[in-house]
Amino acid sequence: MTDVRAFAARQLAPVLASQGSLSGLDAALADSGVATRDRGFAKALCFGVCRTQPRLQALAQELLRQPFKQRDDDIHALLLLGLYQLLYMRVPPHAAVSETAGAARALNKGWATRVINGCLRRFQRESVALQGRVDRDPGVALLHPTWLLKRLRQAWPDDWRAIAEANNQPGPMTLRVNARRTTREGYLARLAEAGIAAEPCRHAATGITLETPCDVSALPGFAEGEVSVQDEAAQLAADLLAPALAGRATPRVLDACAAPGGKAAHLLETCDAELTALDVDAQRLARVRTTLERLGLAAHLEAADAGSLDGWDGTPYEAILLDAPCSGTGVIRRHPDIKLLRRPSDLRELAALQARLLDSLWQALAPGGTLLYATCSVMPEENAEQIAAFLARTPDARAETVDAAWGRAAGAGRQLLPQTGGHDGFFYARLVKESTTPGA
């Protein structure tokens, strides 16, 4: 049987070194040998360490006489795991110390047992003083890299602290009811019968938020396609494209960066469309197929680069959804490794990619058609500023006002900020292609 803490340390080591992510954690767990009963604990450890890493790292620096060598990144991860358990979990302190120190043997580094044990025991003795010392740094206290906290403060001077605090809390589990199979009211009743507490989302018409997250296998009708897991903010895309599809018998729709397929599926649940799901990553595109098959939906799937329109037959689309690659700064609470993996230079590179995708896809949009631009970012350079630049260089494009009860106006679009207990951070802009070029 694989030691759960040693497993977590192996998974975290490349993430802490900015050389990997937690995206493959579920697959790794399935092949790990970690006892089934311990897998939830393993995920909580990995996600928790990433979520609180700035503080854990500062404490580790106080406790260590000298940093571990690069070849011992797994031992460094083990120390952070021990600190996380002592600070944030209900693991009995003696177990957190002894089991974490003992896991060094499972990593074939028995020498580190004494080091980990000594650091964790010292932390227990000096906890109050050590925490007070490191928390003088706002980035440590708010669990964010200094550069990211600075950017949030520049972008949202009145909201940056609330954004950071929301980022530090796990997001709720939100469902999307398949309107082709059932109603929200009907599914809420089924959840109540199953003893699962839930309430309707405030803004998403088919959204439901669970009081407590659960495994999808416990959801009534999940395997049969009656419901999917999708954040409320992401569910708003289908509503925003609905006016462009209304009155059309079978509109041609392109989901340009489709994986993992939640928005494409939602569109097909709400209208009869001829939908093409495009993604540059063939492996990720396979997840779209799996999603659609479970829901009993069909689309044309194509692995291609939306930035070059590879494979496009020249027939324009009435509607295009561009859920653009972005910094993910609106979904940090669901992907806390973003704190470790993002760099300031990433924002410039992503903004350039987003601009290329906008310019390319605009060619494939029919006159009078609508392109919905979306990101799960809270950074203006990826959102309001990106759209302003596109409108300035694209004469036949105009922004259609998103008049909604959610979010706030942000340039020509609408911005949602992450809400504790509520939706993720998201940005939407609805762009319409003029039938004739102004001034022509």
3 state SS of 25: helix
What band does 1 get if pLDDT is binned at 50, 70 and 90? confident
- Does pTM top 0.75 for this prediction? yes
pLDDT of residue 194: 97
Q: How confident is the model at residue 440 (pLDDT cuts 50, 70, 90)?
A: very low
- For residue 94, name the pLDDT band (cuts at 50, 70, 90): very high
Q: How confident is the model at residue 35 (pLDDT cuts 50, 70, 90)?
A: very high
Query: For position 369, what pLDDT does the model report?
Result: 96
Which residue is associated with the tokens 């740094």? 137
> How would residue 119 be classed by pLDDT, with cut points 50, 70 and 90?
very high
**pLDDT tens, residue by residue, 47-84:** 999 999 999 999 999 999 999 999 999 999 999 999 99
Question: Catalytic amino acids?
Answer: 376
Asked if pLDDT for residue 140 goes beyond 80, the answer is: yes
Query: Which three-class secondary structure state does DSSP give residue 180?
Result: coil
pLDDT at 409 over 50: yes
Query: Residue 270: what pLDDT?
Result: 94
User: What is the pLDDT averaged over residues 173-196?
Assistant: 97
Q: Is the pLDDT of residue 14 over 50?
A: yes
46 close to 12: Cβ distance less than 8 angstroms: yes
> Is residue 218's pLDDT more than 70?
yes
Residue owning tokens 């070029």 = 437
pLDDT digits (tens, 9 = 90+) for 272-330: 999 999 999 999 999 999 999 999 999 999 999 999 887 788 999 999 999 999 999 99
pLDDT tens digits for range 154-166: 999 999 999 999 9
Secondary structure in 3-state letters for 229-289: ECCHHHHHHHHHHHHHHCCCCCCEEEECCCCCCHHHHHHHHHCCCEEEEEECCHHHHHHHH
Mean pLDDT, the chain, rounded, equals 96
In the structure, what pLDDT confidence band is assigned to residue 149 with cuts at 50, 70 and 90?
very high
The CA radius of gyration of the chain, in Å to the nearest whole number, is 24
Kindly give, in sequence order, each residue whose CB lies less than 8 Å from that of residue 293, ignoring residues fewer than 6 positions away: none
Give the model's pLDDT for residue 436: 67
